[in-house]
Amino acid sequence: QMEYTLPHLVSELKWADIKQRGFMRVTFTADAAQSTWYLVSTIKDKKYQVTTKSASTTNGTTLDII
């Protein structure tokens, strides 16, 4: 249920991935769209790792996942 509550608490947040402990930043321009997922390895320890996954398109139809 928290994933439905967070967007109401953070006005710029439209979606959150609570199970994988992450969020996605999306950028749109006239020529392209790009999204990057930021995921943390744990929320229970001060030591954690951040991994990213990106997807983008420059032609409006083909999605390139990095």
Q: In 1-66, where do the E strands start and end?
A: 22-28, 33-40, 50-57, 64-65
Residue 4 in tokens: 């439905």
pTM of the predicted structure, to 2 decimals: 0.58
Indicate whether 23 pLDDT > 70: yes
- Which carries the bigger pLDDT value, residue 56 or residue 37? 37
pLDDT (mean) for 45-66: 79
Exposed / middle / buried, residue 20 (Cβ in 10 Å: 0-12, 13-18, 19+): middle
Q: Are 33 and 57 in contact (CB under 8 A)?
A: yes
Per-domain residue ranges for the chain? 2-58
Indicate whether 50 pLDDT > 90: yes
Indicate whether 49 pLDDT > 90: yes
